Amino acid sequence: MRKNSWAAAAAGGAAGAANGLFGGGGGMVFLPILSRWGGLEQRKLYATCVGVIFPVCLVSAAVYLLRGGVSVMTALPYLAGGLIGGFFGGKLYGKISTKFLKWLFAAFLFYAGVKYLL
- Same domain flag for 2 and 55: yes
Looking at the structure of the chain, the number of domains it has is 2
Fill in the amino acid letter for 51. G
Q: How far is Cα 20 from Cα 41, in angstroms, rounded to an integer?
A: 28
Is 19 in contact with 57 (CB distance < 8 Å)?
yes
Cα 30 to chain centroid distance, Å, stands at 7
pTM above 0.75, yes or no: no
Instruction: Tell me which residue range forms the domain holding 75.
Output: 71-118
- Same domain flag for 7 and 52: yes
- Same domain flag for 63 and 81: no
- Same domain flag for 28 and 61: yes
- Same domain flag for 30 and 51: yes
Non-local CB neighbours of 56 within 8 Å, separated by 6+ positions: 15, 16, 19, 26
- Same domain flag for 65 and 79: no
Q: What is the per-residue pLDDT for 38?
A: 77
**pLDDT tens, position by position, 26-84:** 777 888 888 887 788 888 888 888 888 888 888 988 998 999 888 889 989 999 999 99
C-alpha radius of gyration, the chain, whole number: 16
- Same domain flag for 52 and 102: no
- Same domain flag for 114 and 82: yes
